[in-house]
């Protein structure tokens, strides 16, 4: 598959921030155009590739290398930082262990952190590994910066003050995860996925994939398209709460990770073994106490206000609790009565 077969728009972050470096008319016009393209892509499909995103590739390489080392540890070691011991869903998450459903849970493991040194929601770090912690924190900050620029861009497109979102995300209540999809077999995909269909919960997600493939994005007609990795690009998608803020004008799109395209070996045979896959997912979230309510400018007679206000922390914690209980990514929360953690919920 070549870049021309890629179905999602590629947005150039360098063009968007161009006017911070040059005030030439051409640069300003290019920036305006790219900002509009970003907005329109989030209206049409909710996903983009972001090129020239400014997050250094060495930082990405470092995290992939830590992830490989961490997930290769024996379960007994990883269990020392298991999410079960954390009230804030931070640490090692193994869906089959956590949910107890070894038959249907997603075929993955994850290591999750939030903003570091938050006494109300402490992270759990593996012992004697300061570089892991430093590199995760560095990356976390870089993602926050990029996501803030994108939020300002989106606010401007609907004629809202460009800093509207700033005070709603300044607590950095984001959720940051490295993901490991272990080596498996083709047969394993018969009735399971690496990540089953879901939407993300927050503002914007920044997703960095290795070259394994398997990510698919649902179009509005219900069909799924492949979203293969493009070197140097980060995938960015809209989460539920940002969509709600825009009264669904921007869409929070379902996506999943499925069996990758078969890759025939030298003898033409399709190997039964599917190699391990790694991903880095940074989920931007509003501040826990942010009250998310559709912007008035997005509520019109042909798109009347669809939602009342919701506290961001409550929404997110309910979704995370559900995910941990089911061992699956899913959008269906209707059948569960999730007891939310009082530490995290403000209403």
Ligand X SMILES: O=C(O)CCC(=O)C(=O)O
Distance from the Cα of residue 132 to its chain's centroid: 20
Q: Which of 279, 320, 323, 344 binds ligand X (CB under 6 A)?
A: 279
Tell me: does residue 200 bind Fe ion (CB under 5 A). Answer: yes
Q: Residue 324 Cβ, how far from Fe ion at the closest point, in Å?
A: 15
Q: Which is nearer to ligand X, 279 or 298 (CB)?
A: 279
Tell me how far, at minimum, the Cβ of 67 lies from Fe ion, in Å: 17
> Can you tell me which of 67, 150, 169, 195 binds ligand X, judged by CB under 6 A?
195
Asked if 70 contacts 178 with a C-beta cutoff of 8 angstroms, the reply is: yes
- With CB atoms as reference, the residue minimizing the distance to ligand X is 279
Q: How far apart are CB 254 and Fe ion at their closest, in Å?
A: 9
DSSP string, 145-201: HHHHHHHHHHHHHTTS-TTTTHHHHTT---EEEEEEE--EEGGGGSS--SEEEE---
Tokens at residue 164, please?
A: 């509207």
Judged by CB under 6 A, how many residues of this single chain contact ligand X? Answer: 10
Instruction: Rule CB under 6 A: choose which of 107, 206, 207, 238 binds ligand X.
Output: 207
* 239 contacts 205 by C-beta, under 8 angstroms: yes
Q: Name 90's Cβ contacts closer than 8 Å, sequence gap at least 6.
A: 83, 112, 113, 114, 121, 122, 123, 124
319 binds ligand X (CB under 6 A): no
Q: How far is the CB of 272 from ligand X (least distance, A)?
A: 22
Residues between 210 and 249 with contacts to ligand X, criterion CB under 6 A: 215
- Cβ atoms of residues 327 and 95 within 8 Å: yes
Burial of 6 (0-12, 13-18, 19+ CB in 10 A): middle
Residue 298 CB, nearest distance to ligand X (Å)? 25
Candidates 72-80, 192-200, 285-293, 299-307; binding stretch for Fe ion (CB under 5 A): 192-200
- Between the two ends of the chain, the Cα-to-Cα distance in Å is 48
For ligand X, the binding residue among 112, 197, 200, 240 (CB under 6 A) is: 200
* 255 lies in the binding site for ligand X (CB under 6 A): yes
Which of the stretches 113-121, 156-164, 166-174, 200-208 binds Fe ion when contact is defined by CB under 5 A?
A: 200-208
Query: Rounded to whole angstroms, what are the CA distances from 240 to 43, 215, 233, 288, 310?
Result: 13, 19, 23, 14, 12
For residue 6, give every residue at least 6 positions away whose Cβ sits within 8 Å of its Cβ, in sequence order, or none.
49, 227, 228, 230
Of 160 and 278, CB closest to Fe ion: 278
Q: Which string of DSSP letters, residue by residue, matches 2-18?
A: -GGG--S-EEEHHHHTG
Gap between the Cα atoms of 247 and 298, Å rounded? 6
Segment interacting with ligand X, rule: CB under 6 A, options 134-142, 207-215, 244-252, 288-296: 207-215
Tokens of 67: 């992830």
Closer by beta carbon to ligand X, 207 or else 312 = 207
> Which residue's entry shows tokens 């994005």?
217
Binding region for Fe ion (CB under 5 A) out of 61-69, 81-89, 160-168, 198-206? 198-206
State which residue has the least CB distance to Fe ion: 200
From the list ligand X, Fe ion, none, which binds 154 (C-beta under 5 to 8 Å, kind-based)? Answer: none
Q: Which of residues 169-188 bind ligand X (CB under 6 A)?
A: 179
Using the rule CB under 6 A, which residue among 45, 81, 113, 257 binds ligand X? Answer: 257
What is the phi/psi pair of residue 75, to 5°? Answer: -50, -35
Q: Which is nearer to Fe ion, 155 or 215 (CB)?
A: 215
Q: What is the DSSP letter of 85?
A: G
| Chosen residue from 236, 242, 281, 317 binding ligand X by CB under 6 A | 281
d(CA 198, CA 218): 10
Residues that bind Fe ion (CB under 5 A): 200
Residues that bind ligand X (CB under 6 A): 179, 195, 200, 207, 209, 215, 255, 257, 279, 281
């Amino acid at each position: 598959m070549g870049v021309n077969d890629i179905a999602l728009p590629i947005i150039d972050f360098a063009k968007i921030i161009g006017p911070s470096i040059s005030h030439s008319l051409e640069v300003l016009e290019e920036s305006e155009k790219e900002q509009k393209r970003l907005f329109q892509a989030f209206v049409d499909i909710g996903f983009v590739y972001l090129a020239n995103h400014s997050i250094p590739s060495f930082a990405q390489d470092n995290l992939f290398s830590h992830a490989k080392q961490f997930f290769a540890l024996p379960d007994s070691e990883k269990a020392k930082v298991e999410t079960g011991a954390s009230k804030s869903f931070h640490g090692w998450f193994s869906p089959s262990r956590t949910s107890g459903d070894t038959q249907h849970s997603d075929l993955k493991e994850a290591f999750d952190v939030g903003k570091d040194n938050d006494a109300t929601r402490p992270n759990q770090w593996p012992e004697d590994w300061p570089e892991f912690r430093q590199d995760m924190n560095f990356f976390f900050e870089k993602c926050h910066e990029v996501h803030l620029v994108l939020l300002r861009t989106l606010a401007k497109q609907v004629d809202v003050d460009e800093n509207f979102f700033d005070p709603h995300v300044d607590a950095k209540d984001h959720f940051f995860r490295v993901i490991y999809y272990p080596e498996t077999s083709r047969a394993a995909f018969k009735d399971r996925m690496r990540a089953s269909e879901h939407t993300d919960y927050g503002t914007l997600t920044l997703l960095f994939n290795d070259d394994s493939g398997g990510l698919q994005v649902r179009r509005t007609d219900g069909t799924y398209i492949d979203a293969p990795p493009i070197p140097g690009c980060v995938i960015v998608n809209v989460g539920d709460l940002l969509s709600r803020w825009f009264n669904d004008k921007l869409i929070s799109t379902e996506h999943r990770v499925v069996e990758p395209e078969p890759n025939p070996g030298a003898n033409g045979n399709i190997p039964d073994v599917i190699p391990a896959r790694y991903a880095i997912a940074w989920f931007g979230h509003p501040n826990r106490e942010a009250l998310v309510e559709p912007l008035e400018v997005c509520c019109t007679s042909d798109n009347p206000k669809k939602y009342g206000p919701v506290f961001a922390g409550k929404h997110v914690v309910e979704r995370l609790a559900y995910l941990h209980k089911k061992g699956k990514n899913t959008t269906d929360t209707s059948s569960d009565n999730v007891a939310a953690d009082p530490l995290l919920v403000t209403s």
